[in-house]
Amino acid sequence: MVYDKVIEGLTVRLRSIQEADAEVTYRMRTDPEKTKYLHRSSGTVEEQRNYIKRQMKLEGDYLFIVEDLKRNSIGMKGVYNYNPVAKTVETGRFLSYGSQVQNIEALKLSFDFAFDVLGVEKIVMGALENNTVMLGIQKRFGAEIIYRETLEGIEYDNICSVLIKDIYVNSKVKVEGLIKRFADRV
């Protein structure tokens, strides 16, 4: 789906993906260093463009481009499987060329979108067990591990966690303080 507003932060902004992003996102999705925790694309730029077209129409599924404040594309972030009845959503599909502060803020902005715009009570997310940076960031936000799963064709287990809105409200304040301290260094 397309969210028609830009979500502004101190170091990054999120906007819905567009067909014009096909080339830059294709390069991101084929970078072996950046996709070591994701499924790498094996297609073409045109297949990426077609994926974006489908993505933009997919109910309950949002894919954002992460931009720095100069509007350079530095990543992608997904918010998907939105269930308005259960008040849940999943987040993932995070790939970034940003600094650690920009990455943390991109996650924060996606969580704000889920809780404040979509109105969910829980965010479910996962990270491969060898992605210790992401697992640490999730923990900083207050996420609790709920289970571990083995995925076919993936060397490492996927660690699934949940972030509850009430817990996020408290952790968000600390994370915002961290972002403010380092925003001018980005």
164: helix, strand or coil:
strand
What sign does the CA torsion over 99, 100, 104, 105 have? negative
Run of H or E including 144 = strand 144-149
Q: Grade residue 184 by pLDDT with cuts at 50, 70 and 90.
A: confident
Residue 119, Cβ neighbours under 10 Å: how many? Answer: 12
Both tokens assigned to 162: 């949940």
Distance of CA 157 to the CA centre of its chain: 19
The model carries a pTM of 0.91
Q: Grade residue 106 by pLDDT with cuts at 50, 70 and 90.
A: very high
Q: How many domains does the chain have?
A: 1
How many angstroms separate the CA atoms of 12 and 104, rounded? 10
1 within some domain: no
20 within some domain: yes
2 within some domain: no
64 within some domain: yes
How many angstroms separate the CA atoms of 184 and 182, rounded? 6
State which residues form the domain around 83.
7-185
Q: Which pLDDT belongs to residue 81?
A: 95
14 within some domain: yes
When mean pLDDT is compared across 78-82, 143-147, 150-154, the lowest value belongs to: 150-154
Read off the CATH number of the domain in which 150 is found. 3.40.630.30
Q: Which pLDDT belongs to residue 38?
A: 65
Q: Grade residue 183 by pLDDT with cuts at 50, 70 and 90.
A: confident
Q: Which pLDDT belongs to residue 37?
A: 62
How many angstroms separate the CA atoms of 56 and 34, rounded? 23
Between vectors from CA 138 to CA 136 and to CA 142, what angle results, nearest 5°?
A: 110
How many angstroms separate the CA atoms of 26 and 174, rounded? 34
Higher pLDDT: 18 or 97? It is: 18
Inform me whether the pLDDT recorded for 116 exceeds 70: yes
